[in-house]
Chains A and B, each alone.
Chain A
Amino acid sequence: MSAAVVRRRLGRVGLNLAAVVVIVCAVFPVYWMVNTSFQPGSAVSSPTPSFWPTVFTVDNYVTAWTTGGLLPALGISLAVTLTTVVAALVFAFLASLAVSRYRFRSRTSFIVAVLIIQMIPAEALIISTFRILDGWQLLNSILGLGFVYIALVLPFTIWTLRGFVAGVPADLEEAAMIDGCSRTGAFWRITFPLLAPGLVATGVFAFIQAWNEFIYALVVMTRPESQTLPIWLRSFVQATKATDWAVVMAASTVMAIPVIVFFLLVRGRMTGGLVSGAVKG
């Protein structure tokens, strides 16, 4: 073997070792969360950690569910998030149609405004938002938080959907119109089906944003019975951390699962595409 071959082989080994390190670093916290959540509390609060659940139990999930108050928080989170996703998709879809299918004055200003709004940190608006919702008797209400979230996810949803709408050539619609479709008919029969994947992807991202949102929920949902999942989880940690990490990890897992599943669903396609594209060269 020549020196060059040896060096290349060593390079390969080093590269794969680095890859393993990256995999371990990326996955380990997620694994540790799930691992802890399936262990009995006594095993978790022991001087030697067990690296897999030697005594497998779902008690922590039952505890979080029944005594921890996870269920009501889950319900509120689902209600707020689904409201947000549906309304944001409809509004953003209409707006993205306007932006990508029509040329009109102030079109560029709208796009710039959407971009700028995305840069305004939520922290800067929480106080005023609190006061406004307070004035409208919308504190601690799913509707109030829903309104805020719709506005919050809109810039991003408009931005992404705009890309998808622009990706469907308007020629297709025009062709259908020449064949006798009305403009609306052409849109619903030709363009809309082609947009479905875009709508799904955008909806998933809106879901994740609303599901994970923390600051507004912290300020707007002040009553314990109207807490969303993140707020509930945080106060649950505050109340129990040193005593029951296993239950905290079970609750964390419940909150993370929908996001992870959705993420793998949408982004899996993306990386899949990246991988196959790269393999094809």
Chain B
Amino acid sequence: MTTTLTPPPVALAPAADATPPARRRPRRTFTPFALLTPAVIMLAVFIGWPLVQTVVMSFQEYGRPQIFGAPAPFVGLDNYIAVLSDGEFWLVLARSLGLCAVCVVATMVLGILIALMLERLGRVMRFAVSVALLLAWAMPALTATIVWGWIFDTQYGLVNYALTALTGTDWSGHSWLIDPLSFFAVAAIVITWGAIPFVAFTVYAGLTQVPGEVMEAAALDGAGAWKRFRLITVPYLRSILFVLLILQIIWDLRVFAQIYALQTVGGVRAETNTIGVYIYSVSMASGDLGAGGAISVILVVIMLLISGFYIRSMLRQEETA
């Protein structure tokens, strides 16, 4: 593959030595496009085309018969009307938003606190905390979920054992994943546990950019720790915190592996679906691809609305860089 892709620059290079600017110009306009071609083709075929298909399908009646080859008639907004008037959809959306809100707040608060802690720690402790956070960060979401599922296991789980030992009442046999509320509590722990390291490291990196003199001056002027944090640190970190917040919202709203794997370990699927898992179950399990398409399009729109801010701030960084 490499050999077929590299030729353009190689083939055109010798001309550069012989002839100055005049003959360079056309090459300048052509080369970047040649370099972009493979990436653009891959993205167009395997992201763009499915996206177009999804949008088209969301306006079609696409169920089991169509999967087996029957023509798919266009039904206008029927799928959207069906989805939006289905109580289940709103329940799933509310659940996803609720879980997302809890996880994002917990991740941001704890991540920032750990970053502030890292800044104040001695060298050895800071290294130890960094390595520990790296380990948590590196755990694949799926394995992390399975491990937490084992820790919360009904029969031999560590949590039930510890609760029995600590409270004196018998917790053995308590099933954490059957009840939707405690299912999502466990899910929130898994998601937050995995997400904190990224926030902590990024905020910490930002904190090291805050000039020490400004802090010292503020301390001399009698500003307490909280005041210094609010008036100096936060403004310095504002753009980092903002991007982190948006990223966390995006990631937590579309969480899939953790919920799906927790449902495998225990848990009632219908009562614990979040929007990603819901799309999967509507389209792949129930075979209603039209409705699945409509929900997918709605999810994409939500994502793009949220990420609009992110993209704008990234572009601003790009300009200043």
Give residues in A with beta carbon < 8 Å to B.
Answer: 15-16, 18-19, 22-23, 25-27, 29-30, 32-33, 36, 44-49, 87, 90-92, 94-95, 97-99, 101-102, 104, 107-108, 110-117, 119-132, 147-148, 150-152, 154-155, 158, 166, 177, 182-185, 187, 211-212, 214-215, 218-219, 230, 233-234, 237-238, 241-242, 245, 248-249, 252-253, 255-256, 259-260, 262-264, 267-268, 270-271, 274-275, 277-279, 281
Contact = CB atoms under 8 A, between A and B. Distances in A.
B142 A233 contact: yes
A15 B307 CA distance: 36
B70 interface: no
A260 B139 contact: yes
Contact of A154 (B43, B122, B133): B43
B144 A95 contact: no
Interface string B291-310: 01100110110011011001
Contact of B139 (A23, A132, A259, A279): A259
B146 A233 contact: yes
B41 to A, nearest CB: 9
B134 A90 contact: no
Contact of B156 (A19, A47, A131): A47
B121 A16 contact: yes
Nearest to B200: A22
B38 A259 contact: no
A277 B126 CA distance: 13
Given A48-B161, A260-B139, A271 B134 contact: yes
Nearest to B311: A115
6 contacts: A19-B129, A47-B161, A150-B42, A219-B284, A249-B147, A263-B138
B254 A49 contact: no
B276 A121 contact: yes
Contacts of B137: 263, 267
B208 A274 contact: yes
B138 A259 contact: yes
B5 A281 contact: no
A122 B277 CA distance: 11
- Which of A129, A183, A270 has the most chain B CB atoms inside 10 A of its CB? A183
Given A46-B156, A94-B39, A128 B117 contact: no
Interface string B33-61: 10110111011011101110110010000
B143 A102 contact: no
Contacts of B122: 16
Contact of B296 (A97, A124, A130): A124
Q: How large is the interface on B (under 10, 10 to 19, 20 to 34, 35 or more residues)?
A: 35 or more
A124 B54 contact: yes
The secondary-structure label for the interface of chain B is helix
Contacts, number: 311
A15 B225 CA distance: 14
B47 A151 contact: yes
A10 B134 CA distance: 28
A102 B300 contact: no
A154 B40 CA distance: 10
Interface string B153-180: 1011010010000000000100000000
Contacts of B47: 117, 120, 125, 151-152
Given A121-B254, A245-B156, A49 B161 contact: yes
Interface string B101-130: 000000000000010010111110111111
A98 B35 contact: yes
Contact of B29 (A49, A104, A155, A218): A104
Nearest to B130: A271
A279 B1 CA distance: 46
A218 to B, nearest CB: 8
Interface stretch (B76-84, B86-94, B233-241, B258-266): B258-266
Given A29-B147, A102-B28, A274-B204, A151 B9 contact: no
Given A48-B161, A49-B158, A90 B146 contact: no
B45 A121 contact: no
